Amino acid sequence: YQSKSGHQAYALYQPELNQFSVERLSLMTELRSAIENQQLQLYFQPKVDLQQQSVIGVEALIRWFHPELGFIPPDEFIPLAEQTGAVRDLTHYAIAEALKYQQQWWDQGHKLNVAVNISALDLVDMHLPEYVSELYKNNALSPEQLTLEVTESSVMNDPDTAIVALQRLRDMGITLSIDDFGTGYSSMAQLKKMPVQELKIDRTFVMDMVTNDEDQVMVKTLISLAQNLGMSTVAEGIEEEQALTLLTNYGCNKAQGYFIGKPMSADDLAEWLAPPCDWLKTP
């Protein structure tokens, strides 16, 4: 059999690849309606202050509960949403939802900061700062209680653009955090120019640090780098008590991880926050 174009014939030998893109494409069309159909839900992971031994905030982590496909992890659909630009709507939605829950916690006496993850594309979304200030305008909270987390690779891809965008958000009082730090390729010259207040040490360094000396060295080095730049440090991925102890001794400021609390629904968080929560400091 001789096909008219070599190209077509080649495609015939790649049925899985083709189907995969079709699936991905339909997943993307569904993502927009998923927001409207309330298939997307924010989970919240506690963030604690190691020196004060108290819970100071939560990180919002998005979950997609698809009616047919079941749970789709963010690592699978966020990259697609970034490719199509849908991530901007998703970010707006995540910030609005996070604020809605944050108001409830404050009403209940839990003065929690809320952190929302944003993508590189959000940094070039000219509507984002205005959207956030509108959201906060009509309620008792202010953007000072909001943290935006952006990955190291997102900001370092185009540092000059990132600095301008981050500064605009910083001027509103938002706390800025560099996520997954240590896995990208940071230019130290650019890092020191970034208007960021927080550095999150990637969990790959934290997860095995109790038994791995090199990881310990990395963690200590990243903490002292952040300290010297006047940034606070968050360690993510704490799965055991010894890691928590080491990090506290190293002077790490904040921590997150399964050992402290897993990402959970707002209802479960309310339960987690209720006494006798280990990390509860009564205001």
Question: Cβ closer to ligand C2E: 78 or 176?
Answer: 78
Q: Which residues contact Mg ion (rule: CB under 5 A)?
A: 117, 136, 142, 149, 179-180
Question: Cβ closer to ligand C2E: 3 or 245?
Answer: 245
- Minimal distance, residue 231 CB to Mg ion, in Å: 15
- Minimal distance, residue 2 CB to ligand C2E, in Å: 47
Backbone angles phi, psi at 255, to 5 degrees: -150, 150
- Minimal distance, residue 87 CB to ligand C2E, in Å: 6
Which residue shows structure tokens 């890691």? 243
Question: Cβ closer to Mg ion: 27 or 62?
Answer: 62
Q: Which residues contact ligand C2E (rule: CB under 6 A)?
A: 45, 61-62, 73-75, 78, 87, 94, 117-119, 149, 179-180, 203, 236-239, 256-258, 263
- Minimal distance, residue 256 CB to Mg ion, in Å: 9
Contact of residue 94 among Mg ion, ligand C2E, none (CB under 5-8 Å per partner type)? ligand C2E
Contact of residue 136 among ligand C2E, Mg ion, none (CB under 5-8 Å per partner type)? Mg ion
Contact of residue 142 among ligand C2E, Mg ion, none (CB under 5-8 Å per partner type)? Mg ion
- Minimal distance, residue 45 CB to ligand C2E, in Å: 6
